[in-house]
A and B are shown apart, each in its own frame.
Chain A
Amino acid sequence: MVRFIGRRIFFAIVTILLVSAAVFAIFSFLPFDPASLTCGQRCTPQIIEGNRIKLGFDKPIYEQYWLFLSGIFVGRTYGSGSAAFSCPAPAFGYSFNENACVTDMIKESLPITLNLAVGALVIWLVLGISLGVIAAKFKNRWPDTSSSVFVLLGTSLPTFVTGLALLIWVSIKWKIVPMSLDGYVSVLDSPSRWFMYFILPWITLAIAYAALYTRFTRAAVLDTLGEDYIRTARAKGVRERTVLFKHTLRAVLAPIVTLAGLDFAGLVGGAIITETIFNLPGLARLTLRSVYEFDLPVVLATTILAAVVVIVMNLIVDMLYAVLDPRVRI
């Protein structure tokens, strides 16, 4: 087990290095001059060259990559003298557009995205699994039929429609969740305001995913209910409820956990529409804005971060799978 985890972590680190190098290389070969992107409307060649040196874009690409990597561990100082600015470790670059260290920008965005993703995950798992189990249990009867309507709506309605509809109707028109312009509040500071801030975004994301998970769970439960070991359980005299919630769900859990882990990874930095509609200054918004503004250091860092999250979630899912499925040997 320890050896397995060690080996997997080692390979994860190698993968992260390769991905970051690849992303770094791709960005270096983009047809933009990163230095000229750092300067505003009134740009002179002197400013561009100055910034080029300040940010290290004058150096060969492998050296830039090395500076980038070492910055993560020891921090980085750009320029020299009184005009210099430093980003302490872990430094992922400096954004000229924002006059800020990329790490600080990510630090501000990440909690919001994590709050969003975790909350949505909880809702869609509870909703999706319950509906899926109910639909399977009452196959071809009205609970199944109505859940299939939900599945159809959830999978076919784009997030921007559900999100906007929720915001406009539930928040602006009916004022059920009164719209607040107060911004992000930590759950530690005010649980109620935190909840109000996130509930609609959570629901928006959860609807789409819950629909998928309902469909997935229903199919998996039906499959499992046909398994021989379920018949064995019934032959033992196990109650139908226990058959469903213990024997069946336990077997369905492992693939759902896998799916959820990867979907969660996708949400970290990928909930662009939800973050945009609800004006959540999370990672996806940061990435999107940086792409629009050619804020390359930020795009670079968030791209690598997204890759890291996917790799790490894969690692976690694999380890969870080993815990959940005794047949998986590690």
Chain B
Amino acid sequence: MSSISALRRAVVVTAASSLVISAALVAGSQVANAAETPRTGGTLVLLEHEPRLDHLDPSRIYTGRDLAFMNSFHTRTLVAYNPVPGAAGANIVPDLATNTGVPSNSAKTWKFTLRPGTKFEDGTPITCEHVQYGTSRVFATDVITDGPAYLLSWLDIPKDADGNSIFTGPYKNTPAGLAAFKKAVSCSKDNRTITFNLNKSVADFNYLATYGTISPVQAKFDNGDAYDLKPQATGPYKISVNNKTELVLVRNKFWSKASDPVRTPYPDKVVIKFGLDEEVQDQIFLEDSQPNAMNFNGPLPTNKDKFFTNDEYKNRRMNNSDPYAIYIAFNLAKMPCLEVRAAMYYARNAKALLDYAGGPTYAGSYATGVISPLVALDYAPTKVVGPGSPDFMPEGNIPKAKALLETAKTKCPADYKKATEDGILIDVRQSSTLNDTIPINEAAYARAGIKVKFNIIASGYYSTVMNPAKQSDMSSAGWGADWANASTVIPELFASFGGFNLSQNSNDPAYKAFEDKVNIAMKTTDRKKQAEMWKALDKEAMKNFWVLPTTFGKAQEIWGSGLGGVFFWVPQGNPAYGKIWVKK
């Protein structure tokens, strides 16, 4: 579940506000029937509405579901999330490496030693050089697009005058660039240990090693863009068919259980069927006509009640919180007044909008900040906004909003005038539900005497709002952690160097102190201490109302009676596909 995917998923959430949901946060019905022992064999079928997965190339996958899928079956990484139910699932364990990474030099240097006996699908033993080559691909930014880009800024490689890395990837490099890369990512003499030299302390660098962006690739099979169609397998399954109707994974005979402490392959074959009509999919599961199938894209909003209120389906459904925090960013360049921003929060009718989107059952819960409860260690209700905060009222706290505006009237009259007379302009993505949600918002804000207007953006939403010249007063957005560490949330959203800072908050009086604390938190290697810091920073960001948090989302899964071992894999926000087995 990555930032990019967060953007995508946020899009889904805002566009189809019918994406709906449940009560308990991180509850999740886990189907763990101890009486049943997993069976090997059979075919696991996943039904997908879209015509394909966005990417298969390990360097380019960045969405939680696709990572959960490919990393379960096909692509091995240096370290991996432990595929077990509950919070323990967020723990990283050694995968291709024999450890979870050894930091030194204040977490500026990270060493991973490779496990012996690991092979590619053609039988070639995996060495450090393969990982080194795989890692180098992310620098070919014109070919290897869409994957996590942290390495570009973290690896200790000199930059040119424009701020671009002097290494430009394996396809068209210069000797100087390649030398600089090989210095930053080096292999030991025995070709078993890989060392990453970073230009700053990154205490959780090893979490990035759960991504395929650091994974072995054989140069001789790397055909650039086309590698996306059939990347080489290192896991227990390899791709046998990949076309517009299906993706078929079959067993990779060069994978050995002995070399892989993480994966327990059960089915003989894993198949994703693409392009199924969503209604047809739901009917298949309602009728259980394909017992060995699971939906890959969630049931239709209109069918959710059928699945989740009927006991018939209780053993083949789950409803979990998804890893995304949905919010509306304040553009501080245009809304510098804290009181007006706070008033915008309190005047909003969160309940009406959540109910419209499906209510707490399917749509999620009121957000308490931008760190999702799924980033378990770093999550605590901020008690500043949302449930648990003194002034939070789901329908809106109009007296509080009015009082705040009263203060703003004298303290920042320009902002007050904008809010009450000119109207505050909010960026929203074009969607079919706007006709309903805009009136809800207008009515809610009118109660406090606030005027709102909407800037409806039909295409290129994020590229528009991320352009300061084009961003309006407020912008709808969503974000999920790249791994179970708010280091991929708080800095990305609120630091001036963050990749997704829509708040433009660097001129805010509270900013300087905030950034200092962010830098300290990033260097902190004691995970527990670090977690407390993130919690405090989430709280601080909320206190400053740099964003208006709305909901923590939810997602539903449904599957056939012939599958066993389905559980929710917390860090990926999806089922641990690799643990699913097919009953007789």
Direct contact of A and B (CB under 8 A): yes
Q: Which residues of A contact B (CB under 8 A)?
A: 39-44, 46-47, 50-51, 82-83, 85, 98-99, 108, 164, 167-168, 171-173, 175, 179, 181, 183-184, 276-277, 279, 281, 285, 289
Q: Beyond the given A44-B141, A50-B142, please list 8 additional residue pairs across the A-B interface where CB-CB is below 8 A.
A: A40-B145, A46-B142, A168-B280, A173-B283, A173-B289, A181-B246, A277-B280, A279-B274
**Contact indicator B145/A39 (Cβ below 8 Å):** yes
Q: Which residues of B contact A (CB under 8 A)?
A: 4, 7, 45, 47, 51, 141-143, 145-146, 149, 171-172, 224-226, 228-229, 243-246, 271, 273-277, 279-280, 283-284, 287, 289-290, 293
B568 to chain A, nearest CB (A): 25
24 A/B residue pairs, CB under 8 Å, sorted by A: A40-B145, A40-B146, A41-B4, A41-B145, A42-B141, A44-B141, A47-B141, A82-B171, A85-B226, A168-B283, A171-B289, A172-B283, A172-B287, A173-B287, A173-B289, A181-B47, A181-B246, A181-B271, A279-B245, A279-B275, A279-B276, A281-B275, A285-B275, A289-B51
Tell me the complex Cα distance, A121–B425, Å: 54
Taking each of B7, B141, B245, B271, which has the highest tally of chain A beta carbons within 10 Å of its own beta carbon?
A: B245
Tell me the complex Cα distance, A171–B290, Å: 11
Out of A108, A179, A183, which one reaches B289, CB within 8 Å? A179
A166 to chain B, nearest CB (A): 11
**Contact indicator A181/B273 (Cβ below 8 Å):** yes
Q: Provided the pairs A172-B287, A281-B275 are in contact, do residues A183 and B142 lie with their beta carbons within 8 angstroms? A: no
**Contact indicator A42/B146 (Cβ below 8 Å):** yes
**Contact indicator A41/B142 (Cβ below 8 Å):** no
User: 10 tightest A-B contacts by CB?
Assistant: A40-B145, A40-B146, A47-B142, A183-B245, A172-B289, A168-B283, A279-B275, A172-B287, A41-B146, A181-B273
Out of B45, B225, B277, which one reaches A276, CB within 8 Å? B277
Taking each of A99, A108, A181, which has the highest tally of chain B beta carbons within 10 Å of its own beta carbon?
A: A181
Tell me the complex Cα distance, A108–B51, Å: 14
**Contact indicator A281/B142 (Cβ below 8 Å):** no
Out of A39, A41, A51, A184, which one reaches B7, CB within 8 Å? A41
Q: Which residues of B lie under 8 Å from residue A44 when comparing CB positions?
A: 141-142
Q: Which residues of A lie under 8 Å from residue B229 when comparing CB positions?
A: 99
Q: Provided the pairs A41-B4, A41-B145, A289-B51 are in contact, do residues A181 and B283 lie with their beta carbons within 8 angstroms? A: no
Q: Which residues of B lie under 8 Å from residue A50 when comparing CB positions?
A: 142
Q: Provided the pairs A40-B145, A83-B171, A279-B276 are in contact, do residues A179 and B290 lie with their beta carbons within 8 angstroms? A: yes
Tell me the complex Cα distance, A99–B145, Å: 13
B193 to chain A, nearest CB (A): 30
Q: Provided the pairs A172-B289, A279-B275 are in contact, do residues A83 and B245 lie with their beta carbons within 8 angstroms? A: no
Q: Which residues of B lie under 8 Å from residue A172 when comparing CB positions?
A: 280, 283-284, 287, 289
B166 to chain A, nearest CB (A): 14
Q: Which residues of B lie under 8 Å from residue A277 when comparing CB positions?
A: 277, 280
Q: Provided the pairs A82-B171, A179-B290, A276-B277 are in contact, do residues A42 and B245 lie with their beta carbons within 8 angstroms? A: no
Q: Provided the pairs A42-B141, A172-B289 are in contact, do residues A183 and B277 lie with their beta carbons within 8 angstroms? A: no
**Contact indicator B277/A279 (Cβ below 8 Å):** yes
Tell me the complex Cα distance, A98–B172, Å: 23
B170 to chain A, nearest CB (A): 11
**Contact indicator B244/A108 (Cβ below 8 Å):** yes
Residue of A nearest to B142 (CB): A47
Residue of A nearest to B144 (CB): A42
